[in-house]
Chains A and B, each alone.
Chain A
Amino acid sequence: MQLPVEIPGLLNYWIVIVLMMVGFFVVISHGNLVKKIVGLNVFQVSVFVLYITMSKIDGGAAPILDDAIKNYSNPLPHVLILTAIVVGVATTALGLALIVRIRDAYGTIEDDEITNQERDDA
């Protein structure tokens, strides 16, 4: 990164962790199920960024072979994260489908209202 200030080597990881914790906070503190899924997504993307950060090598080019290039970034995390992104969307889709069904059954997607209804039914 070409910034006037030298960026300490671990700063990227720390910001990623802050992002991760923001996602985590949304998941555990909000009652709305759609928002929980969004929080889960934020968490997921932060983990992806963590992996991709680890794969970066100073002066390394994108891992596409060319005779003129000596240094490449580490391709293995890229592969893993490609898989993870697609799987992440699959789980998101499943979670959203569950939300639609929950709304069918309870008429709400708020956590506490569902709990109240369950208690009233019992």
Chain B
Amino acid sequence: MILFLMAIAAFGIIKLRNLFAVVMLSGIFSLLAASLYVHLTAVDVAFTEASVGAGISTLLMLATLAITGEYEKKHTTNNLFPLLIVVVTGAALIYGTLDMPLYGAANAPANLHLIPRFIEQSGTEIGIPNIVTSVLASYRGYDTLGETVVIFTAAIGVLVLLGRGRNRWRPGISADAPSKDEENEV
């Protein structure tokens, strides 16, 4: 049911030209996903999706829209070729799901290895009732370390891209030539 609502939101994103509405729809999409995660008993993921996915990324996009303007121009390019690619890819993926374990199957291969051990031992080994936390912070601690490195790198990238915004220096533009910025303001 929630998945169908998500599908409606997604098709709305294709149709709408007002980028403000598109960004709000993507926020709604994330929030619907979060409620779906609660339904699928992934409560930690739901928290994160609701705060980070629906909250922060919507906020970032709105901030970008404030700078870049909120209307998408009508594009005249042909939609047929992308549609063809999408349909072919989708068909291939659906073909791929045909031998996947059914929804909710307890004996799916992904649930048989390592997981019983996490469930039985993590309470005594780590001492935290929340298995997701134990796995995240301890068993897969290096993963989390890598994640923070990625965030750090992204933060550096954003700072490098935007922090120099007020500088005269632009790659490819000599210092005495008027920069594109000034041309736009005129």
Interface assignment of B174: CB less than 8 Å from any CB of chain A: no
Nearest A residue to B79, CB-CB: A29
Please state if A48 and B75 are interface contacts (CB–CB under 8 Å).
Answer: no
B98 at the interface (CB under 8 A from A): yes
B61, A100: Cβ atoms closer than 8 Å: no
Interface of B is mostly: helix
Whole-angstrom CA separation of A63 from B74 in the bound complex = 48
A24-B86, A29-B83, A45-B30 known; A94-B45 Cβ under 8 A: no
Interface contact A38-B61, CB-CB below 8 Å: yes
Q: Which residue of A lies closest to B106 (CB)?
A: A57
Contact present for B41 and A38 (CB under 8 Å): no
Identify A52's interface contact among B26, B37, B63, B98, CB under 8 A. B37
A62–B181 CA distance with the chains assembled, in angstroms: 53
Cross-chain contact A75 with B64 (CB below 8 angstroms): no
For A92-111 the 0/1 string (1 means CB < 8 A from B) is 11101111110111110111
- Who on chain B is nearest to A87 by CB? B150
Q: Are A105 and B180 in contact (CB under 8 A)?
A: yes
Task: From A21, A81, A105, A112, give the contact of B89 (CB < 8 A).
Answer: A21
Cβ–Cβ < 8 Å partners of A64 in chain B: 43, 129-132
* Least CB distance, A102 to chain B, in whole angstroms: 9
**Interface pairs (8), CB distance under 8 Å:** A7-B103, A45-B33, A49-B3, A56-B104, A86-B147, A100-B67, A100-B162, A107-B180
Q: Smallest CB–CB gap between A56 and chain B, Å?
A: 5
Tell me whether B97 and A107 are in contact (CB under 8 A): no
Q: Are B7 and A93 in contact (CB under 8 A)?
A: no
Chain A hits for B102, CB < 8 A: 9-10
Shortest Cβ distance from residue A62 to the other chain B in the assembled complex, whole angstroms: 4
Q: Which residues does chain B contribute within 8 Å of A72, judged by CB atoms?
A: 119, 131
**How many Å from the CB of B55 to the closest CB on chain A?**
9
- Nearest to A21 among chain B residues (CB) is B90
| 3 A-B pairs with least C-beta separation | A9-B102, A90-B154, A58-B104
> Contact: A60 with B106, CB < 8 Å?
yes
Q: 17 new A-B pairs (CB below 8 Å) besides A82-B48, A83-B136? A: A32-B72, A32-B75, A34-B68, A35-B19, A56-B40, A57-B104, A75-B115, A77-B42, A82-B136, A86-B48, A93-B60, A94-B158, A97-B158, A100-B64, A100-B161, A100-B162, A109-B68
Give Cα distance in the complex from A30 to B3, angstroms: 24
Which residue from A18, A39, A41, A71 sits with its C-beta under 8 Å from B57?
A41
* Closest chain A residue to B111, Cβ basis: A74
